[in-house]
Structure 1
Amino acid sequence: MVNILSFFVWILMFQPCHSLCFPVANDIVTNYSSSSLSTVPKNLSNLTNILDLSQNNITEIYMQDFAPLHQLKYLNLSSNKINNLAPAFFRSNQKLECLDLSRNQLMNVECDFLHNATSLKYLDISENNFLSLTLGKAFSFLQDLEYLSLGSRKTIKFRKDDLKEISGKQLQEVSIKLKTLSEYDPSAITILRTTKLHIVLPSIKSFHFLKNVLDDAFNTSDILTLSNFECCQKCNHLSVDCCQTCSKINNGMNQCCSDCSHYIESFKVLGKYSRVQNLSLQHLTVDWETFAKILKIIWDSSVEKLSVSNMKICQVRQHLSWFFLQKQLKSFTLRKINILPFYFSQAIIYDVFEELKVENLIIYESGMIFLTCPKKQNTYKLIDISDNSFTSDFFFQGCSTLKHLETFILKQNRFVQLFEVSNMTTYMTSLKHLDVSQNQLIFDEVRICPWTNSLTKLNLSSNKLTDSVFTCLPSNLEILDLQKNNIYTVPKVLKNLNNLKELYLGANKLANPPDCNKFRNLEILFVEANSFHEPSSTFLQSCQRLTVLNAASNPFTCTCNLRDFSTMNKNTHIEMIGWPKSYCCAYPDVLKGTLLKDFYLSEVTCSPTLLLVIVLGTMFVIAILIGLMCRFLDLPWYLRMTWQWTQMKRRTMKTDSYQLSENLVYHAFVSYSQHDYSWVKEQLLSNLEERNLRICHHERDFIPGKGIIENIINCIEKSYKSIFVLSPNFIQSEWCHYELYFAQHQVLSEHTENLILIVLEPIPQYLIPSKYYKLKSLMAKKTYLEWPNDKNKQRLFWANLQAAIGVSLTAPRQGSISVHND
């Protein structure tokens, strides 16, 4: 059961624990509360820091149960049936700071089991079966003790020296439950040195001890809490049946229906001499008259802050007329006030607050529906009436007597019209902070809202307001909270809120964050949990003074438009609340869940202008490089020759050996001009024959006795290719022309590609006579090889020529090389 969930469950369930015992996040929590256990579990982790065994049926605890828990800091054993613990029980738990043993059956208040528990700060041993409150020697060793709660279910005696073992310690808080008190020595409480004191007063049966208890309580601590008031005045013919009301409260017992003079007389000590400045009264059941008399005594005393909570008023009968004579309190708090009679004059209650002299008035969780405007200038600086049932109808409308009011808290009521709320503030010339959150406010009217000019902080969160609310705002605001409304956009036409420094718009339906040009001094902006995908660039540019931004939990679309926003945390001084875990891509689907800090698109991808510049620049550089290569490296020639070689290889691969005629003898027949003979002999023949190619040369291979034309035709037919060495000299040769004609005719008749043109020297088209139109056509349509003078290029030339000829022939016959020249 050791997990993080147990940690939070423990916080909720371990209610008796003081703030001294509040755990930290890395504490290991083991929670066995309400598990019907009768013994301590044996499988507890030795690393446990917090152990909750409350609300079980454990009767016996043995020392070895907790001996291994050396890291134990907080132990809750409340609401069990433990009746005894061995001396020095916690000697193995040197780090134990908080121990709750309340609501058990311990008999011995000396608590010898506390020996060696020297780190203890919080101890609650109330509501056990002690017969007295005489603390044992073990308490004198608790040097770090700050909180102590004492009390018993049994009738107890409280003597003067019962608390002497802690008399020298300065404690933060002491709680003593004296509901079952049977004997009390005066000054038994005053021995304490504590900042806060909580006394649960004796029941009605022990009224005769009440005065002494209160005398001591009023002079022991500056901060005092008194609880367990149960008294209603005796019934008379002028009132409702008070006894019947009290009987309902106390399950049929009329014990509270008695003379309450004991309480009133006991409280009079508070007015004569007392050190109490902060007084809290809890769990009261009184009639209005008794409560009024007690209030009068308090107002005349040293008390500056008064709090009354969980009070049931069983009778409301008379008006109070004494408040205007009393001094002013700093704070008066009423919480959970329940007036039991259904029919009574509401004016009796409201009149009290008309005359009440107090700086801070707090009334919450009391079901109040109305307050009247004070008749005279009042001293209220703060009014908090949260969690009641107030409505804006006529509430403080036109009220001009609250000129000193600075803070007005109206949250969690039933206010509906924002205009009426604004109108209520008109005469509150000192009002700075107004909170109307968690109501039902709307604003649909086109009206000017008459806010007071002094208002600087306005909380309108958790209402039903729409975009129109921006037309009904005070102009001097510095802090505006509009979270959890129905706002879709901040209107473009908007009066400038130049003083606004903090704007809270979280949990609305905004499609875009607001433009800060409308809020020029904005420093803090919360727009979390809205509906915007891509914060606009104008938003980023306009928020120059922004220091804190919360835009978490929005459905961000991770495109180029989001690049500036995703790098805001790096590139600006703005603190991003929730960064980076709460900033994720929602679209596109391929990036869904990706953190914005991990989302990246390059500048080139997102800038068309830059991309165009790079593309054009690259093309320009390539063009220059191509030009330089063409100029200095003759790149076009290499490209052309490589292309020719590739094409020739392709054609050669397509030509199977079976396709060749059986009478082929030569790889090639060479036709050239006699003027080019030296190149043919020294370059062409020598290189081709080195590569084992058979060349038909007319000087060797023409058959004597036959005509020249017959020999030409015969050689062409017996050669796989016909090579023509073209030059200006070739054009002047008649025989060369014949040979070209016959070779071309063979191409057309056999559908082969057997012509190879070698341009030895460039031949301008205009030099070719018109009668050689076939040569012109061939040079225009057919790829030819150019002889390079550069020796570095000649290797590629021969490779191309061999690839063009490349074919395997059968063994040569005698006189297999044929070359013809004119």
Structure 2
Amino acid sequence: MELVRFIVVLYMFINTYAHPMWYQHNLFLVNTTSSPEILRCPPKCSCSYCLVSYNGTDVRYRHQVDCSRRKLTQIPDSNQLPTDAEIYFLQNNSIIELPNNSFRTTPNLTILDLSYNLLKSESIDRYAFKGLDKLQQLKLDGNQFTVLKGRWCQFLPSVEILSFQKCLIESVSRDVLDGCKNLKQIDFFDNDLNKIPDCHQNRKLKSINLKQNRVNYFLVKNLPTTIENIDLSMNWLHDLKHVSLENFAQHLKYFNLANNNFGNSRFIIEHLFNGSNVIEVLMLDNNNLYAIYKTWLIYFVMLTYFSISNSSISIIHEQSFVNCINLRFIDLSGNKITSLAPKLFQGLENLNSVYLQGNIITRLPEQAFYGSGLLENIIMADNNLTTINENVGLQKLKNLKQLDIQSNPWLCNCDLVWFRHWVNNTSVTISNLDALKCRASSNITIHLLKFDADSLHCLSPIISIAIPSCIVLLITITSVVIWYIFRWDFRYLYQRHLLRKQYQRLADGGLPPLDGVNIRFDVYVSYSHEDLDWVIHVLQPKLEGALHNFKLCLDYRDFTAGDTIFNNIIDSVKSSHKTLLIVTKSFIASEWCFFEVEMARTKMFDANEDSILIVLLEDVDVVHMPNFLRMLMQTKTYLKWPDEEEDRAKFWTTLAEVLKTPNAHKDWLINN
């Protein structure tokens, strides 16, 4: 009896504390049996049991075979594989062929990664994947297909995710995907395709990534009408005149057409759906569109994120967003906008952030954001603003948290008096306030905070015109001139009195309370999916292992299914104690990583603390970094991933210590 108790205690101890590599010899993990077919492992490879969790609860163990980066030229003998294996990593080798029945002894595989080998369509035999009825994910990135052909899908009835990134694919045969009846996501990022592959038979397909190809025509018939996410950014599209997405209107939510060859005369987006649609994210960045017309977004009622940066926009019709009642994020940065229509942003009740940096805007219209009471972030850096007056209505935006007005030619004159007083009394975070300057005269530039607005004796423009006229009529209308002058003086003093009372009420009211946020994770990990392998196999095991026991928030695992990507990012950043940026070249180039950095930045200002950590996974030129990330790199100490194995223990210890520290006050980041 004592022996039985000892065995049970030993089993519980191993499950809780043992290193995953022990599981390859743990006799209790596979139906309480230990057959040789389960314990075997190919030479040069590692076999282990990884714990699968769901909603924080350990569900079961999965057998994982890792043969990645082993300089293999052929796949291991299938007779050497454990029969209960569910995950099989073969990436980053030199495998040149897949013979028939390559995986006949592993019918339970759900994930198979063959990325970055030397495979070609001709070197994959027809029955290579036979028997993989349970496979859900197949990655073939970085191979050399050129022409993707073969009827592999007939043996992959359960596959949901297929990835062919960076495979030099120029064309896809018509029947390649026909058998993948459960396919939900397919990725052709960075290939040489000139048209959309034929996926119309894949009725469950939800997402297709064709970013960075050579697609020059939108072949609608090749897509199923159930598609929800289409990424056609960085292609050669130039015309949508004869394209109709009317049959996609009830499902398509994410539509990325950034970095194409659209010209304004050929871009008529409202005819794509010819009626209502459910698009939530629309990205048109880096196209030569010149103008935004009021009819473009007339049917985009569900739109929440709209981005059209760096597209040479100089004209925006006043009613462009009038029907976009759910709009939360608008990015109009990097264009040629000189002025904003008075009602452009009015009435957008859900508007959260407006990005207008990098334009040539000279003034903001009166009541520019009237009716947009939830607005939190206004980014107006690098424009031609010289003043912001009271009529703009900043003082009425009770939820405003961040205002970025850097790199504008402010003038220290009477027009800036109201704004200078508002700066003293507001709780809004004004980016880099200490460095803001204004020009008092042609040769004198002073810091905005040193501008003494009360030292100016400002008269209204009408009085400035009236005084010379009164001098000419000095004798005949002396009494009228005196009355006229004092009338406006009295009005000026009265308005100034009311304004000071308003400032006093704001000062007495104190800072507005911040909404409470439930912290569910120790750290949110922001990374490029090209670095997913390092995150899964290096970072995650180290930080979530028994030694450190951190709870990471990882997109592939913790994002809420069915919600939009950017909503998941917002919620995850707010629900995490810290945000860890894994900086690489691909991270800098990623639009979603940029979005994650912006959300971390917003949290910094919301919570009034610095919760951002940086790990430099590879050398990156700071010139290519976004401004905020460059500023962080220059003002914060960051961790660099060591090249030498012996230095990595210190790296993990340091990272763990930093993750355990309380968040610094954000003023430390700004002032240092």
Counterpart pick for 2:208 among 361, 375, 381: 361
User: 1:359: how far off?
Assistant: 0.8
Bigger mean CA deviation after superposition, 529-538 or 327-336: 327-336
Counterpart pick for 1:558 among 397, 409, 412: 412
Q: 1:504 to 1:556 in 2, by over 3 A?
A: same
Counterpart pick for 1:478 among 328, 345, 349: 328
Equivalent residue of 1:538, what SS?
Answer: helix
Decide whether the 8 Å contact of 2:177 with 2:199 is kept in 1.
no
User: 1:470: how far off?
Assistant: 3.6
Counterpart pick for 1:396 among 243, 251, 258: 243
Equivalent residue of 2:247, what SS?
Answer: coil
Map 1:801-816; keep pairs closer than 5 Å: none
Decide whether the 8 Å contact of 1:326 with 1:357 is kept in 2.
no
Decide whether the 8 Å contact of 1:377 with 1:403 is kept in 2.
no
> Is 1:230 aligned with 2:119?
yes
User: 1:466: how far off?
Assistant: 1.5
Q: 1:196 to 1:471 in 2, by over 3 A?
A: farther
User: 1:510: how far off?
Assistant: 0.6
> Is 1:595 aligned with 2:457?
no
Find the aligned partners of 1:470 and 1:508 in 2 and give their Cα distance. 17
Equivalent residue of 1:282, what SS?
Answer: coil
User: 1:423: how far off?
Assistant: 2.7
Percent of residue pairs identical: 18
User: 1:462: how far off?
Assistant: 1.0
Residue 458 of structure 1 is matched in structure 2 by: 306
Counterpart pick for 1:548 among 402, 410, 419: 402
Find the aligned partners of 2:110 and 2:302 in 1 and give their Cα distance. 40
Q: 1:602 to 1:468 in 2, by over 3 A?
A: closer
> Is 1:176 aligned with 2:68?
yes
Decide whether the 8 Å contact of 1:444 with 1:468 is kept in 2.
yes
Decide whether the 8 Å contact of 1:392 with 1:421 is kept in 2.
no
User: 1:542: how far off?
Assistant: 5.8
> Is 1:294 aligned with 2:152?
yes
Decide whether the 8 Å contact of 1:287 with 1:315 is kept in 2.
yes
Decide whether the 8 Å contact of 1:354 with 1:374 is kept in 2.
no
Counterpart pick for 1:307 among 135, 158, 163: 163
Map 1:630-649; keep pairs closer than 5 Å: none
User: 1:336: how far off?
Assistant: 2.2
Q: 1:389 to 1:426 in 2, by over 3 A?
A: same
Decide whether the 8 Å contact of 1:413 with 1:439 is kept in 2.
yes
Q: 1:530 to 1:189 in 2, by over 3 A?
A: farther
Residue 420 of structure 1 is matched in structure 2 by: 268
Q: Which runs of 5+ in 2 are unaligned?
A: 1-19, 23-39, 52-62, 460-488, 494-672
Decide whether the 8 Å contact of 2:261 with 2:287 is kept in 1.
yes
Find the aligned partners of 1:544 and 1:314 in 2 and give their Cα distance. 52
Equivalent residue of 2:164, what SS?
Answer: strand
Residue 478 of structure 2 is matched in structure 1 by: none
Residue 252 of structure 2 is matched in structure 1 by: 405
Residue 285 of structure 2 is matched in structure 1 by: 437
Map 1:242-253; keep pairs closer than 5 Å: none
Alignment RMSD:
4.3
User: 1:600: how far off?
Assistant: 3.3
Q: 1:569 to 1:226 in 2, by over 3 A?
A: same
Find the aligned partners of 1:563 and 1:491 in 2 and give their Cα distance. 24
Find the aligned partners of 1:177 and 1:232 in 2 and give their Cα distance. 22
Decide whether the 8 Å contact of 1:503 with 1:525 is kept in 2.
yes
Residue 91 of structure 2 is matched in structure 1 by: 199
- CA deviation digits over 1:392-434, x for unaligned, max 9? 3335336333421111111111122386023324345211221
Residue 87 of structure 1 is matched in structure 2 by: none
Equivalenced residue count is: 410
Decide whether the 8 Å contact of 2:270 with 2:295 is kept in 1.
no
Find the aligned partners of 1:414 and 1:268 in 2 and give their Cα distance. 43
Decide whether the 8 Å contact of 1:368 with 1:390 is kept in 2.
yes
Find the aligned partners of 1:182 and 1:319 in 2 and give their Cα distance. 29
AA of the residue aligned to 1:524? N
AA of the residue aligned to 2:219? T
Counterpart pick for 2:342 among 492, 499, 502: 492
> Is 1:285 aligned with 2:144?
yes
Find the aligned partners of 1:463 and 1:363 in 2 and give their Cα distance. 21
AA of the residue aligned to 2:380? V
Find the aligned partners of 2:359 and 2:425 in 1 and give their Cα distance. 28
Decide whether the 8 Å contact of 1:515 with 1:539 is kept in 2.
yes
Residue 174 of structure 2 is matched in structure 1 by: 319
Q: 1:218 to 1:310 in 2, by over 3 A?
A: farther
User: 1:307: how far off?
Assistant: 1.4
User: 1:367: how far off?
Assistant: 0.6
Q: Which runs of 5+ in 1 are unaligned?
A: 1-138, 142-158, 234-259, 614-822
Decide whether the 8 Å contact of 1:452 with 1:474 is kept in 2.
no
Q: 1:338 to 1:517 in 2, by over 3 A?
A: closer
Q: 1:169 to 1:200 in 2, by over 3 A?
A: same
Residue 112 of structure 1 is matched in structure 2 by: none
User: 1:459: how far off?
Assistant: 1.1
Equivalent residue of 1:549, what SS?
Answer: strand
Equivalent residue of 1:508, what SS?
Answer: coil
Q: 1:481 to 1:284 in 2, by over 3 A?
A: same
AA of the residue aligned to 1:537? E
Q: 1:336 to 1:431 in 2, by over 3 A?
A: same
Structure number with bigger Rg:
1
Normalising by structure 1, we get a TM-score of 0.43
Q: 1:416 to 1:541 in 2, by over 3 A?
A: same
Find the aligned partners of 2:360 and 2:48 in 1 and give their Cα distance. 61
Equivalent residue of 1:336, what SS?
Answer: coil
User: 1:166: how far off?
Assistant: 7.3
User: 1:523: how far off?
Assistant: 3.3
Equivalent residue of 1:335, what SS?
Answer: coil
Find the aligned partners of 2:420 and 2:64 in 1 and give their Cα distance. 50
User: 1:449: how far off?
Assistant: 6.1
Decide whether the 8 Å contact of 2:342 with 2:367 is kept in 1.
no
> Is 1:331 aligned with 2:331?
no
Q: 1:595 to 1:181 in 2, by over 3 A?
A: same
Find the aligned partners of 2:187 and 2:209 in 1 and give their Cα distance. 4
User: 1:328: how far off?
Assistant: 3.7
Find the aligned partners of 2:177 and 2:48 in 1 and give their Cα distance. 41
Equivalent residue of 2:191, what SS?
Answer: strand
User: 1:504: how far off?
Assistant: 1.6
Q: 1:373 to 1:585 in 2, by over 3 A?
A: same
Residue 610 of structure 2 is matched in structure 1 by: none
Decide whether the 8 Å contact of 2:49 with 2:64 is kept in 1.
no
Counterpart pick for 1:529 among 351, 369, 382: 382
Counterpart pick for 1:266 among 128, 141, 165: 128
AA of the residue aligned to 1:465? I
Find the aligned partners of 1:495 and 1:584 in 2 and give their Cα distance. 28
User: 1:386: how far off?
Assistant: 0.9
Find the aligned partners of 1:421 and 1:288 in 2 and give their Cα distance. 32
Find the aligned partners of 2:117 and 2:86 in 1 and give their Cα distance. 21
Residue 69 of structure 1 is matched in structure 2 by: none
Equivalent residue of 1:580, what SS?
Answer: helix
Q: 1:273 to 1:187 in 2, by over 3 A?
A: farther
> Is 1:370 aligned with 2:212?
no
Find the aligned partners of 1:407 and 1:416 in 2 and give their Cα distance. 22
